[in-house]
Amino acid sequence: MIPRALTWSSDARRLRILDQRLLPERVVERELCTIDEVDEALRTLAVRGAPAIGVAAALGVIAAFARAGVPDRAALLAALDRLAGARPTAVNLPWAMARLRRVVIVAEANLLDALAAEAERILAEDIAMCDAIGRHGQGLLPDGARVLTHCNAGALATAGIGTALAPVYTASAAGRRVEVIACETRPLLQGSRITAWELSAAGIPVTVCTDSMAAALMREGRLDLVLVGADRIAANGDIANKIGTYGHAVAAHHHGLPFYVAAPSSTIDASLFGGASIPIERRDADEVRRVGGQVVAPPDVPVENPAFDITPASLISAIVTDRGVFRPPYRFVEAP
């Protein structure tokens, strides 16, 4: 079975998430009941992945205000603004909050019902988006494909079957043999902790490697393609994804391997021409200084900890969205 990042009860208006900070050692679900709890879950990566945080924030607003009685419009708008800024790089979060903001502004009656309907549309669209990416992208994976991926862009990063892993799941369901090599993804190890756990639970063959091993595996002919997600895509096809993605793209280009990106169309930010304009989230230095509570760097040495990097469109073989497969030059306004 493919694990789920979150579950939503539409009648009780309750949101539960799988706390991904604790994987793979512990599998713990949490109910998010307040805006503080939703905000904390987003910022600390208890729920993570561009599509999942947009969905979780939207549903979390409904869950929180369902317990607060008649919602106050000013309080709702303040909550939406607060959550929109919790993770600055992923465009899906402010996109989802903007959709709820429009409802707050225009709804005349039954405000919470109207908000819940919009949040549930966001949830349904995300599930359908994942399925569409799987259908469009599965043709990029031949039988026996050995796929390198980075970070987690699977079911645990969405409300459905994932973005970068959706073609893997769809191809496997169609009877094709697919093997995934998951980079560990320093500093928070989303690849080894989350991707490997998710794929193992779903019955997909997976091997973990350190980030620094990927280029050597390419040179040895042990990989066929790279498939990653994206937290934001600029109008020219540049992408922001988990730090380390750019290095894999450079190595894939050098070794003549296809480098594919899979992401929802909502990730495309047409307001930004290129990747240089994408804001990059910078996180706490202790995420690098410590691994599993163990200090691995001197406390007085400066640390760099950008959460994302930019991969230019010139290194990307194709971008798979729910609207189809786009190839360079990237023009997202028209259908592919």
Positions marked catalytic: 231
The DSSP bridge partners found for residue 242 are 308
Contact 248, 213 (CB under 8 A): no
Q: Quickly count: other Cβ atoms within 10 Å of residue 236's Cβ.
A: 17
Neighbour-count burial of 105, counting CB atoms closer than 10 A to its CB (0-12 exposed, 13-18 middle, 19+ buried): exposed
Asked if 87 contacts 51 with a C-beta cutoff of 8 angstroms, the reply is no
Joined tokens for residue 120: 């549930």
H helices of 107-206, in order, are 111-137, 166-173, 190, 196-202
As separate numbers, helices (DSSP H) first and strands (DSSP E) second, the chain gives: 11, 16
Please count the other Cβ atoms lying within 10 Å of the Cβ belonging to residue 296: 10
Q: Which residues pair with 252 in a beta bridge?
A: none
